[in-house]
């Protein structure tokens, strides 16, 4: 797929499909669009009238243009109210336009959209991200690729946005990170294993010159990572503790750590997930690690002046004679003891040792993201992730990054009183508390493994997967979190 930032206007473009973004209050047509309408013998206005097109966000309409015209088809896509247009509106509009052009068997698309806040760079990047992500199809495991033999959309011109090659390059880097995360999450657990995640980190390190350290089980034992290794010990596949580091060429302005939960499959352990529990979908339990590696791939290409450590304690949570048992006591690498009262609350155990490891690096801030609790999905649904932090500055920075990225988070309280439900008679704490407030007690558990470093926990259990096409997301892994992490790092530069 080729993207071109073009000085050409909608009046002069030629190709298969010209699609114009219209807001709800953009009718009647502006001077330029009125002239376009005249050139196509009133077809633009006729399309708007016959389709009863009002500019509502995400709506589309398209028609064939008569012979002799510069374009073969002419379409419109709704942007919603003018005063409510954001970068996310543009991403979604570009996604809708790209899908429409593909459905109409067009090989070239001219996109004519308003420039948001007179910022051509931001507009071009948002449009390119939306279209590229919408057109991504993961057909790796299908014997018959339905795209074969059909006309495919190969070129998109962003009209009226000249000299934005840097923005298109940035969009491509971000999308490559998102697509990597999508494909890791969508792949089954017999394909993506802890070793696969380590190999993915190695490929990123090799391609972009990052540093990589993979700690094997013996090294993790030497560091006292009893919580992480307790989870991993029943699997025939060895754990892999991944530490990937991006260092800028100059002196970094900040030093950050991103920690992603990397359970490539979660059976629940001896507290096995029962029928109807969604056990077949537990391949997605490494969504945090996938986003971490996706962010690493993007950041390595964007080269911000920030040092970033990407960390994942990758493992499987399986069943066997060596599996951790309910009632076992594990000792984490900071010396704290944990009574395992539920082996299906394993992600927080792996994150515990990963957070201790991250803080020892002397970073300025730590962000962890994890498909951690079903309770967060019950609270916020499938589209919104939970945000937990006692550091208002860090929480604000992530919220700002998420808004720019178009990813939804909602800050939930760190209610200290709820930690009472994690207290153990025989150890420092249990790994789960009462059912009410389950995502809050999970965050409070993780807090025990960060001492003084500003830290934020993102519970992304809902948004990492979608069953239906939604905006620029297709069914399957969404790559959720990558764009927020990249925005956060870039803002720290």
- Our answer to whether residue 325 is catalytic in this structure is no
Residues in the chain, total? 493
- Our answer to whether residue 348 is catalytic in this structure is yes
Q: Which stretch of DSSP H or E encloses residue 476?
A: strand 476-477
Q: Please list the residues that pair with 409 across neighbouring strands.
A: 385
Dist CA 98 CA 109 (whole Å): 8
Q: What are phi and psi of 136, to 5 degrees?
A: -70, 125
- Hey, what are 359's tokens? 């803080």
Tell me what percent of the chain is helix, strand and coil, each rounded to the nearest 5: 40, 20, 40
- Residue by residue, DSSP assigns 320-357 as STT---TT-EEE-TTS-EEE-S-TT--HHHHHHHHHHH
Strands 465-466 and 455-459, sheet pairing:
unpaired
Q: Which residue has the tokens 């590229």?
A: 132
Dist CA 89 CA 116 (whole Å): 10
Dist CA 354 CA 365 (whole Å): 14
SS3 410: strand
Beta carbons within 8 Å of 429's beta carbon, 6+ residues apart = 336, 337, 338, 339, 419, 422, 423, 445, 448
Q: Where are the alpha helices (DSSP H) in 381-420?
A: 392-405
Q: Which residue has the tokens 């449009």?
A: 127
Given the residues 92, 102, 348, 447, the one annotated as active site: 348
Dist CA 164 CA 378 (whole Å): 42
Alpha carbon of residue 107 to chain centroid: 28
Given the residues 155, 233, 255, 273, the one annotated as active site: 273
Alpha carbon of residue 8 to chain centroid: 33
287: left (phi over 0), alpha (psi -120 to 50) or beta: alpha
Beta carbons within 8 Å of 385's beta carbon, 6+ residues apart = 369, 376, 407, 408, 409, 410, 458, 459, 460, 461, 462, 463, 480, 481
Q: Is the peptide bond preceding residue 379 cis, with omega within 30 degrees of 0?
A: no
Alpha carbon of residue 30 to chain centroid: 37
For the annotated catalytic residues, the residue numbers are 273, 348
């Amino acid at each position: 797929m080729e993207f071109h930032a073009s000085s050409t206007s909608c009046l002069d473009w030629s190709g298969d499909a010209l699609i114009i973004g219209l807001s709800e209050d953009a009718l009647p047509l502006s001077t330029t669009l009125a002239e376009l309408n005249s050139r196509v013998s009133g077809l633009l206005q006729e399309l708007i009238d016959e389709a009863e097109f009002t500019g509502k966000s995400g709506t589309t309409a398209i028609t064939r243009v008569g012979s002799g015209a510069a374009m073969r088809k002419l379409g419109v896509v709704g942007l919603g109210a003018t005063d409510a247009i954001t970068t996310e509106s543009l991403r979604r509009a570009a996604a809708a336009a790209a899908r429409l052009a593909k459905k109409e068997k067009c090989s070239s698309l001219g996109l004519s959209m308003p420039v948001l806040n007179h910022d051509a760079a931001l507009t071009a990047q948002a449009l390119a991200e939306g279209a590229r992500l919408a057109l991504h199809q993961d057909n790796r495991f299908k014997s018959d690729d339905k795209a074969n033999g059909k006309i495919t959309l190969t070129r998109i011109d962003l009209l009226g946005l000249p000299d934005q090659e840097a923005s298109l390059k940035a969009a491509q880097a971000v999308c490559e990170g998102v697509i990597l995360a999508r494909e890791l999450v969508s792949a089954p657990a017999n394909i993506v294993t802890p070793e696969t995640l380590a190999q993915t980190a190695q490929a990123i390190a090799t391609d972009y010159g990052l540093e990589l350290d993979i700690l094997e089980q013996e090294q993790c034992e030497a560091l006292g990572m009893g919580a992480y290794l307790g989870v991993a010990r029943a699997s025939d596949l060895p754990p892999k503790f991944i530490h990937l580091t991006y260092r800028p060429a100059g002196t970094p302005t900040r030093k950050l750590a991103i920690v992603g939960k990397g359970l490539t499959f979660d059976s629940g352990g001896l507290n096995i997930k029962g029928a109807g529990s969604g056990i077949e979908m537990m391949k997605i339990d490494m969504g945090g690690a996938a986003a971490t590696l996706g962010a690493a791939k993007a950041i390595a290409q964007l080269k911000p002046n920030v040092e970033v450590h990407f960390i994942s304690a990758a493992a499987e949570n399986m069943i066997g004679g060596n599996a951790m048992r309910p009632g076992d006591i594990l000792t984490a690498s900071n010396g704290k003891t944990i009574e395992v009262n539920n082996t299906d609350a394993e992600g927080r155990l792996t994150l515990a040792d990963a957070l201790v490891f991250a803080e020892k690096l002397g970073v300025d801030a730590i962000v962890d993201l994890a498909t951690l609790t079903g309770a967060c999905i019950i609270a916020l649904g499938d589209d919104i992730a939970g945000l937990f932090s006692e550091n208002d500055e860090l929480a604000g920075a992530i919220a700002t990054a998420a808004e720019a990225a178009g990813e939804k988070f909602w800050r939930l309280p760190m209610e200290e009183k709820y930690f009472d439900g994690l207290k153990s008679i025989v150890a420092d704490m249990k790994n789960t508390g009462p059912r009410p407030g389950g995502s809050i007690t999970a965050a409070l558990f993780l807090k025990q493994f960060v001492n003084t470093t500003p830290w934020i926990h993102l519970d992304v259990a809902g948004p990492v997967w979608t069953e239906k096409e939604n905006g620029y997301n297709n069914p399957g892994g969404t790559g959720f979190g990558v764009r927020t992490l990249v925005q956060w790092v870039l803002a720290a530069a």
